[in-house]
């Protein structure tokens, strides 16, 4: 069982990152690969080592709490690793935990691959099993907020103009995009890519 991988981010794809560990590259599928910036600094990615007949896969997360949540999700009958990963990529982990604890089926059925029966099964199986994870995720989110970079204006962030145009082409209204940017701009850096911004904006737009 590979519980975590520590090394440099050598490559980023839309669904995965490659971690260079002493010259050996591990491909790790992630909810948001762009959360891991390419740099010479080492990162720790908490992983779930998934073995099946035709593949050996690693799924990775920036925190131990998200790793635990992923493992709880795949314990639910009918939820495989790819569906669990899609659920985590579609919204904030703390929002997902809250939706399960509050039996918010409307929220859950908006997630990729989740129908009403599956949402009900998730609530039944996990409602009383996420207290510690939910608390840890909220503490983590508050810490990230305190350590966030300075708020950026539209002019400061050139990538947002491109991301906004692409999102508008998908059918989102100006008011929705303005609200998404107001939520996002205290959590992004000036050199963040268009793809990364779009993914984060879609997460905000999806969860409201």
Domain boundary among the residues 97, 117, 146 is at 146
Domain boundary among the residues 96, 114, 146 is at 146
**Residue 194: C-alpha distances to residues 33, 41, 72 (Å):** 13, 23, 32
Instruction: Flag whether 152 is in a domain.
Output: no
- Are 116 and 168 members of one domain? no
- Are 71 and 47 members of one domain? no
- Are 75 and 49 members of one domain? no
Instruction: Flag whether 153 is in a domain.
Output: no
CATH number of the domain encompassing residue 38: 2.40.50.140
- Are 76 and 136 members of one domain? yes
Instruction: Tell me what pLDDT residue 193 has.
Output: 75
Please give the residue range of the domain that contains residue 202.
Answer: 158-207
Q: Is the pTM of this model over 0.75?
A: no
- Are 69 and 57 members of one domain? no
**Residue 37: C-alpha distances to residues 12, 49, 161, 185 (Å):** 8, 22, 21, 17
**Cβ atoms within 10 Å of 122's Cβ, excluding its own:** 25
CATH number of the domain encompassing residue 142: 1.10.150.20
- Are 99 and 171 members of one domain? no
DSSP H helix total and E strand total for the chain: 9, 5
Along the 208 residues of the chain, how does pLDDT read in single tens digits? 899 999 999 999 889 999 999 999 999 999 888 877 766 789 999 999 999 888 899 999 988 999 999 999 999 999 999 999 999 887 678 888 888 988 999 989 988 889 999 999 999 999 888 877 755 555 444 444 344 443 344 444 557 777 888 777 777 787 788 878 877 777 776 667 777 778 888 877 766 5
């Amino acid at each position: 069982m590979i519980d975590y991988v520590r090394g440099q981010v050598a490559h980023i794809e839309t669904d995965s990152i490659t971690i260079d560990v002493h010259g050996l590259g591990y491909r790790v599928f992630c909810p948001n690969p762009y959360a891991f910036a390419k740099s010479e600094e080492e990162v720790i990615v908490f992983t779930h080592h998934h073995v099946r007949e035709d593949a050996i896969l690693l799924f990775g997360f920036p925190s131990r709490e998200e790793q635990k949540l992923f493992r709880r999700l795949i314990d639910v009958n009918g939820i495989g690793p790819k569906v669990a990963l899609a659920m985590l990529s579609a919204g904030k982990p703390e929002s997902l935990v809250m939706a399960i604890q509050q039996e918010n089926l409307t929220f859950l059925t908006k997630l990729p691959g989740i129908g009403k029966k599956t949402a009900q099964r998730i609530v039944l199986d996990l409602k009383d099993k996420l207290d510690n994870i939910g608390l840890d995720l909220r503490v983590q989110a508050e810490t990230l907020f305190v350590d966030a970079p300075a708020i950026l204006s539209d002019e400061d962030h050139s990538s947002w103009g491109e991301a906004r145009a692409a999102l508008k082409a998908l059918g989102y209204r100006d008011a929705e995009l303005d609200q998404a940017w107001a939520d996002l701009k205290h959590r992004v850096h000036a050199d963040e890519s268009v793809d990364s911004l779009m993914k984060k904006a879609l997460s905000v737009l999806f969860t409201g």
